[in-house]
Structure 1
Amino acid sequence: MAKLNVRPLIEGRNFGVRISGITREQTNDPEVRQQVNDLFERHGMIVFEDVEPSGKMQIALSDIFGPLKDHPSKAVPRVDQDAMPGVIDMTCPPWPEGRIHVDGQEVTQWLPWHFDHAYNNELNRAGVLRAIDIPPEDGLTGFVDGIELYDAISPELREKIEGHNILYRMNVIMKDFHFGAPDDYRCIAENPTADSVMEAAKDVPRSVHPAVWTRDTGEKVLHVSPWMAEGIENDETPEGNALLDAVSHDIFDRAKELSYWHHWKPTDMLIWDNWRVLHAVSGHHPQYQRRMQRTTIKGDYGLGYFEGGASNDNKILERTY
């Protein structure tokens, strides 16, 4: 069997692994592909270190895990689609309009804990991310394992939320974010693209996803996205909202100990399991540029649906970071 340099992401924890020095040639090796997929399924996240820093390498790594899903909005900037189909380009220039005050400072590009595509009935399998322009401070991407969150959350909250489904809607208006929001959270200025995103999504029904689901391997996953959440299905009451807020706050609190925050290097790429892992962005000082590129792996876990049994073939703009 091909030999890979594999070590834990965090010593003493099952969540995540690091693989160093995988080459583009190795991504075509069936044994390597099987080994990498097995590691991903078992650990939920892989940080690839010391890899070729190119879009072609990103596509080659992504192809190990399944077919790519193109971004649903044609307005999102792409890299050369003839040479590198499926790679989207996300650049935050210096001094952008969108600003957040959180944790005592003003930052841009801050995002709360969430899973991607919460507002759709289908959940993409995973994302593969790399950094091109890296701020000298902050600009980190955080990850927390839903299996570990399920075990760590308050037993009383776990008992109350398990068996419930959560309602989600596309909402990129940051002043509307409230479930689990830090005490000093404040939106200073909205991203100027937010209104167009909201207009495109206004007629799409709300999605529904379980707060807890069970993997084929038996582990239970706490999979609540505080961002985009609108309430508990069949319990949009003050009591239901208070429960969802308490669970969201507990996720933020538990993540302080359980999360992994990735400090980017140009030779890093990483993949996370969108059915199991929540992620967040630390934000960074507005004076710095941050540029990321991403591919999305197609797939679905089959547990989500649109409210009221609605069907909708329109694809909503998917925020990717």
Structure 2
Amino acid sequence: MSDLDIRPLIEGRNFGARLRGITFDQTQDPEIRTQVNALFDRHGMIVFEDVEPSGRMHVALSDIFGPMKDHPSKAVPRVDQDAMPGVIDMTAKPNPEGRISVGGKELVSWLPWHFDHAYNNELNRAGVLRALDIPPEGGLTGFVDGIELYQALSPELRSAIEGRNVLYRMNVYMEDFHFGAPDDYKCLAENPYSKPVMDEAIGVPRAVHPAVWTRETGEKVLHVSPWMAEGIEGDETPEGHALLDAVSKEIFALSKSLGYWHQWKPTDMLIWDNWRALHAVSGHDPQYGRRMQRTTIKGDYGLGYFEGGASSDNKVLERTY
């Protein structure tokens, strides 16, 4: 890749890569597109630095990795779909109603570790994200590699969770988040937007995904989403819940050493493998706003299904958070 400026995301680690200065014209070059795809498959995440900070570049980068998946809910804000098809707009205005507290600090836009669309049978391939309005403190997006998590998980927990399937349901009420929640976590006020989302999810069957899966290249991936998890399939007992909570707490603990937290700049964009990595949001002071835009790359790893063999016609709208 002599034409591309590539460095590790974290020195000495395989997860992630940095690619500096890719241009719009390069995103149209078939050879470079092939090289960038191979880089993504190998490392599971790419941070694109010093790129053109525009919607057209966001779409062009996304197109390298496959067709985009438009958001099915018309309620989700979009940008100009003629100029930037598939780009959704996620804006947190200053001093919103929804708030949580972690470590005694009041935060907005905080999200726990998760993978996207856990509540559906299909998992999108990836997300491509950029920041337009960046708070002066906080507002970081975190990523942790499921391959590294599997390898670092204690042998006892690894043995107990491997071969198990986890049940997920759309649940954006932060008061309900409990698996792996920090001891000092509190929901101070729900986001008013949560209720229509929850109303839409009424009657939708739960989705099931393996806690550990194996990539074609042979690596095992710990792929448990503490957010929206409801229990272990076939073991919704105190013992099963205790196991899921222990694994979720270990994910939070391991993320302190294994996690990568991205401090945003306007000239950054990034992509992560939704089948391999978990992501989170650090939250920020309520007095500041934060605005992000993202695209979703189509795909599915083929291992998820709805509980009880329910049809995909019953699935909840694939909202993006």
TM over 0.5: yes
Q: Which amino acid aligns with 1:151?
A: Q
Note the C-alpha offset of 1:314: 5.0
1:20 match:
20
| CA distances 1:123-181 after superposition (whole Å, capped 9, x unpaired) | 00000000000000000000000000000011100000000000000000000000000
Aligned partners of 1:147 and 1:276 also within 8 Å:
yes
Rounded Cα–Cα distance in structure 2 between residues aligned with 1:189 and 1:246? 27
Secondary structure, aligned partner of 1:34: helix
Rounded Cα–Cα distance in structure 2 between residues aligned with 1:103 and 1:276? 29
| CA distances 1:20-55 after superposition (whole Å, capped 9, x unpaired) | 000010001011001000000000000000000011
2:188 match:
188
Rounded Cα–Cα distance in structure 1 between residues aligned with 2:206 and 2:242? 20
Matching of residue 283 in structure 1 with residue 283 in structure 2: yes
2:112 match:
112
Secondary structure, aligned partner of 1:151: helix
Note the C-alpha offset of 1:292: 0.2
1:137 match:
137
Note the C-alpha offset of 1:316: 2.9
Please identify runs of 4+ aligned residues in structure 1 that moved more than 6 A: none
1:203 match:
203
Secondary structure, aligned partner of 2:187: strand
Aligned partners of 2:7 and 2:19 also within 8 Å:
yes
Note the C-alpha offset of 1:82: 1.1
Pairing of 1:233-272 with structure 2 (within 5 A): 233-272=233-272
1:64 match:
64
Pairing of 1:84-103 with structure 2 (within 5 A): 84-103=84-103
Percent of residue pairs identical: 80
Q: Which amino acid aligns with 1:199?
A: D
Rounded Cα–Cα distance in structure 1 between residues aligned with 2:32 and 2:96? 42
Rounded Cα–Cα distance in structure 2 between residues aligned with 1:297 and 1:166? 24
Note the C-alpha offset of 1:232: 0.2
Aligned partners of 2:26 and 2:32 also within 8 Å:
yes
Matching of residue 274 in structure 1 with residue 274 in structure 2: yes
1:320 match:
320
2:127 match:
127
* Aligned CA-pair RMSD: 0.9
Q: Which runs of 5+ in 2 are unaligned?
A: none
Rounded Cα–Cα distance in structure 2 between residues aligned with 1:64 and 1:203? 37
Rounded Cα–Cα distance in structure 1 between residues aligned with 2:116 and 2:30? 29
Secondary structure, aligned partner of 1:256: helix
Q: Which amino acid aligns with 1:96?
A: P
1:164 match:
164
Q: Which amino acid aligns with 1:94?
A: P
Note the C-alpha offset of 1:288: 0.2
| Count of aligned pairs between the two proteins | 321
Aligned partners of 1:180 and 1:252 also within 8 Å:
yes
Secondary structure, aligned partner of 1:313: helix
Aligned partners of 1:130 and 1:270 also within 8 Å:
yes
Aligned partners of 2:9 and 2:15 also within 8 Å:
yes
Rounded Cα–Cα distance in structure 2 between residues aligned with 1:234 and 1:315? 21
- TM-score, normalization by structure 2: 0.99
Note the C-alpha offset of 1:83: 1.1
Secondary structure, aligned partner of 2:171: coil
Note the C-alpha offset of 1:320: 3.1
